[in-house]
Homo-oligomer: A and B are copies of this chain.
Amino acid sequence: MPGVEGVINMNEMELMLEKWLDLLEKKKYKELKTELNESNPADIAEFFEEVEVEKRLFVFRLLTKDNAADVFSFMDSDMQAHIINSITDREVKSIVDDMSMDDTVDLLGEIPANVVTRILKNTDEEKRAIINSFLNYPEDSAGSIMTIEFVQFHLDTTVKKAMEQLRRTGVDKETIYSCYVVNEKRVLVGMVSLRTIILSSDDTFIKDIMEDDVISVRTLDDQEDTANIFKKYNLIALPVVDNEDRLVGIITVDDIVDVIEQENTEDIEKMSALIPSENEYLKTSVFTLAKNRIVWLLVLMISGTVSSAIISGYESVLASSIILSSFFPILMDTGGNAGSQSSTLIIRGMAIGEIQMADVFKVLWKELRVGAISGFILAGVNFVRLVLLKTPLEVNMAVSLSLMATVIIAKCVGCILPIIAKKLKFDPAIMAGPLITTVVDAISLIVFFNAAQVFVL
């Protein structure tokens, strides 16, 4: 019996991968086969990323039947499609039979159509029907991430019978730790944890130990809302019901962890003026990357012409003091940064449910004061800097006062725009740094030119 595997850190992982690659290169296949089949499927899936393309099929065939399906389910969709395209129909069938329903559906949603056909051809009719119904759930819905491999009991099942049922069928279920209770119409009426079951005596009825206040979601509910329910109630599984409250599936927390990461990535991308993409950066083509970026760049560039127009409009002011234009970057960038900070906090606060629509005036009042403090300090530092640089006092006054006003306005714009977006049912995340900066730029220029007219001219 080997000892404990220590911490799986980057270095150990890399050492292991190098060792396997070395075995492969030195053609020590028997040793490699033994090593792989004793390792964690997630690690083996990572190993495949390092193996040369033409050797992948060979390495895949070193895996035992059971391990092959496990490793396959940890691969990313490109690798999966590559493997499916290279193996025999019989091997495809063996893998698909062993994969859980939700992994199969995930796979089918992400691979090219010809590979989908190949897999469906090798799936028995019953499973194919289920898969087809799953593929009809909209992306990002609770239905699309649920699994149908759950445990359900009837109201008059006893603990003894429940345990027998678990022993008989439990091995194929996604989880046996949260079990659900349905009535004769398959309507969800309760939930019972395996913990409760094993702490109860054999002849107890499930209906007497179940929780009848079950939290559930519907198939068409949004996956982000579903994730929020997991977070709020600290769940490890959540039942999914149809419009008649019939139990049709469950969602487990490991899938929710992926949803949370995916939703966070989406928010972060939107906040940086990117159209979110589900694909890995390194596997996305240059054209797709460019396409996901160009829309917002164009929108923002064209919005930016407002600032150009403002500057052109005040050409006479500039002409009398060309040096004024050297303060554009500081004013515009500081305003943009101050506004982005506010919008980020508000967007994040709304995303994780800390800030509600009802808080709008509280938030605005807070940002106004934060803006006043920050603006005062920034303007002060800038004033001193310009004094040291012997900039004319009237220019200094115009710049420093504009800076202070810009920061305060930016803070307010930064908190109001995401809230308005939410009110209009847009995703608040689009009202982040880039758009805020464009809006604040125009405002800061107007403020600055007016201040300049008062002080400098």
Does the CB pair B215–A195 fall under 8 Å?
no
Chain A 271-290 residues near chain B, CB threshold 8 A: 271-274, 280-282, 286-287, 289-290
* Residues B323 and A434 in contact, CB atoms below 8 Å apart: no
Write out the residue numbers on chain B whose beta carbons fall within 8 Å of the beta carbon of A265: 348, 352
Taking the nearest CB of chain B, how far is it from the CB of A181, in angstroms? 10
Residue A133, interface by CB 8 Å: no
Q: Is the CB of B318 within 8 A of A325?
A: yes
Query: Do A305 and B330 touch across chains, with their CB atoms under 8 A apart?
Result: yes
Q: Is the CB of A38 within 8 A of B213?
A: yes
Cβ B290 vs Cβ A370 within 8 A = yes
Interface string of A249-265 (1 = CB under 8 A from B): 00001101110110011
Contact between chains at B274 and A370 (CB < 8 Å): no
Binds B, one of A20-28, A55-63, A106-114, A216-224: A216-224
Is A315 part of the binding interface, using a Cβ–Cβ cutoff of 8 Å?
yes
Counted per complex, copies of this chain come to 2
Best-surrounded residue of A297, A312, A323, A441 (most CB of chain B within 10 A): A297
Contact string against B for A residues 29-62, beta-carbon threshold 8 Å, 1 for contact and 0 otherwise: 0000000001110100000000000000000000
Chain A, interface size category, equals 35 or more
Please give me the residue from chain B that is nearest to A188 by CB atom: B4
Q: Nearest-CB distance from A433 to chain B (Å)?
A: 5
B-contact bits for A205-232, CB 8 A (1 contact / 0 none): 0010000111111100100010001111
Q: Which of B6, B236, B258, B272 contacts A216 (CB 8 A)?
A: B6
Q: Are A4 and B189 in contact (CB under 8 A)?
A: yes
Which residue on B lies nearest to A197, using beta carbons? B198
Nearest CB in chain B to that of A286: its residue: B369
Inter-chain contact B305/A385, CB cutoff 8 Å: yes
In angstroms, Cα B219 to Cα A6, docked, is 12
User: Judging by beta carbons under 8 Å apart, are B213 and A272 in contact?
Assistant: no
- Measured CB to CB, the closest approach of chain B to A44, in angstroms, equals 12
Which residues of chain B are within 8 angstroms of A234 by Cβ–Cβ distance? Answer: 42, 254
Stretch at the interface among A115-123, A332-340, A420-428: A332-340
CA distance A304 to B378 in the complex (A): 13
Which residues of B sit under 8 angstroms from A352, Cβ to Cβ?
261, 265
How far apart are the CA atoms of A348 and B319 in the complex, in Å? 45
A454 in the interface (beta carbon within 8 A)? no
A269 on the interface (CB 8 Å rule)? Answer: yes
Is A135 engaged at the interface, CB distance under 8 Å to the other chain? no
A362 at the interface (CB under 8 A from B): yes
Instruction: Please give the distance in Å from A432's CB to the nearest CB on chain B.
Output: 8
Chain B residues with CB under 8 Å of A433's CB are 272, 340, 433-434
- Could you tell me if A232 and B311 are in contact, using CB atoms closer than 8 angstroms? no
Tell me whether A333 and B378 are in contact (CB under 8 A). Answer: no
Which 10 pairs of residues, A with B, have the shortest CB-CB distance?
Answer: A307-B329, A272-B344, A311-B326, A325-B325, A290-B373, A234-B254, A264-B264, A286-B369, A308-B326, A304-B330
16 A-B residue pairs with Cβ-Cβ distance under 8 Å, sorted by A, are A3-B245, A4-B214, A166-B198, A171-B199, A177-B195, A235-B254, A253-B254, A261-B264, A273-B337, A282-B359, A287-B373, A293-B338, A297-B334, A301-B381, A308-B330, A322-B322
